[in-house]
């Protein structure tokens, strides 16, 4: 099982390094906390869109619906409300508004997580939780869905397991939802990659995003799993689309 690593573990990787630089800005140059919070969320989306080959945030007006634009604006406004920027989990990212990804949340992350106003946390790993984890969720009205998923390095992920995860992610009654494993790289990366498949992203762009978050150790077995996964195997679930909250990149 992968061990949790600190932010310094992935120093040198451009995408993640840039995203973390906003957290460091809080102690410099008199930048207001609210500005930093919005920048963290915005750059998280911008980095993912850049790596996926989609258009930048600045061009959303011409490429996405008003609904899409408004949902993103509301998302960032809510993150700005309290004018503070606590520590965020390693590998935190916005998949679509209302769906987040990260490493295993630590106690130091709780203040940031509170800002997301989560309804659901999906845990993909079987490990001991911090003593404060369940009390924190109960105090904030967060339901916990613990769906253990072995990494592809150990075994093929059963279709039934992935289907269970995707059902929770695609059910908007569970939103806002946070998906996490240990490092937010491999298991979480596979789940997000299949969300992108459901959104009809190009495969090379799906893998670009996976590799950006999996750096510096993307796994060939994950790439193979994502590439070979057939969406037709879960079509019977009639999953609600998430594509109305971000522009879809069609082949």
CATH of the domain at 65: 3.90.190.10
Task: For the chain, list the strands marked E by DSSP.
Answer: 93-96, 99-102, 120-123, 143-146, 177-180
Nearest of 194, 192, 205 to residue 53 by alpha carbon: 205
Higher pLDDT, 72 or 200: 200
Give a yes or no: residue 131 inside a domain. yes
pLDDT digits (tens, 9 = 90+) for 24-77: 322 333 323 344 345 445 545 444 444 444 433 233 223 333 443 454 445 445
| Domain count within the chain | 1
What pLDDT score was predicted for residue 234? Answer: 81
Nearest of 131, 130, 106, 153 to residue 1 by alpha carbon: 153
Give a yes or no: residue 4 inside a domain. no
Give a yes or no: residue 251 inside a domain. no
Q: Is residue 221 flagged as an active site residue?
A: no
pLDDT digits (tens, 9 = 90+) for 111-134: 999 999 999 999 999 888 889 999
pLDDT > 80? residue 216: yes
Cα separation, 105 vs 129, whole angstroms:
9
Higher pLDDT, 84 or 190: 190
152: containing domain: 10-245
Give a yes or no: residue 2 inside a domain. no
Give a yes or no: residue 5 inside a domain. no
Average pLDDT over residues 7-11: 35
The single residue of 41, 94, 116, 181 carrying the catalytic annotation is 181
Give a yes or no: residue 3 inside a domain. no
**Can you state the percent helix, strand and coil of the chain, rounding each to 5?**
55, 10, 40
Q: What is the pTM of this model?
A: 0.67
What Rg value do the Cα atoms of the chain yield, rounded? Answer: 17
């Amino acid at each position: 099982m992968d061990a949790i690593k600190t932010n310094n573990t992935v120093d040198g990787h451009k995408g993640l390094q840039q995203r973390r630089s906003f957290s460091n800005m809080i102690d410099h140059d008199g930048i207001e906390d609210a500005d930093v919070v919005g920048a963290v969320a915005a750059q998280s989306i911008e980095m993912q869109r850049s790596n996926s080959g989609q258009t930048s945030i600045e061009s959303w007006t011409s490429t996405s619906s008003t609904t899409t634009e408004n949902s993103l604006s509301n998302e960032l406004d809510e993150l700005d409300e309290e004018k503070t920027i606590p520590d965020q989990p390693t590998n935190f990212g916005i998949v679509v508004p209302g769906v987040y990804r990260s490493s295993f949340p630590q106690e130091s992350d709780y203040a940031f997580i509170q800002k997301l106003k989560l309804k659901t946390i999906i845990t993909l790993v079987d490990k001991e939780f911090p003593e404060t984890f369940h009390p924190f969720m109960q105090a904030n009205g967060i339901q916990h869905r613990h769906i253990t998923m072995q990494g592809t390095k150990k075994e093929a992920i059963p279709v039934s397991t992935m289907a269970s995860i995707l059902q929770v992610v695609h059910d908007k009654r569970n939103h806002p939802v946070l998906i996490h494993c240990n490092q937010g790289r491999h298991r979480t990366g596979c789940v997000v990659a299949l969300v992108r498949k459901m959104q009809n992203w190009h495969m090379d762009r799906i893998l670009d995003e996976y590799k950006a978050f999996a750096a510096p150790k993307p796994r060939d077995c994950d790439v193979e799993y994502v590439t070979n996964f057939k969406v037709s195997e879960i079509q019977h679930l009639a999953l609600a689309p998430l594509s109305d909250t971000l522009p879809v990149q069609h082949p």
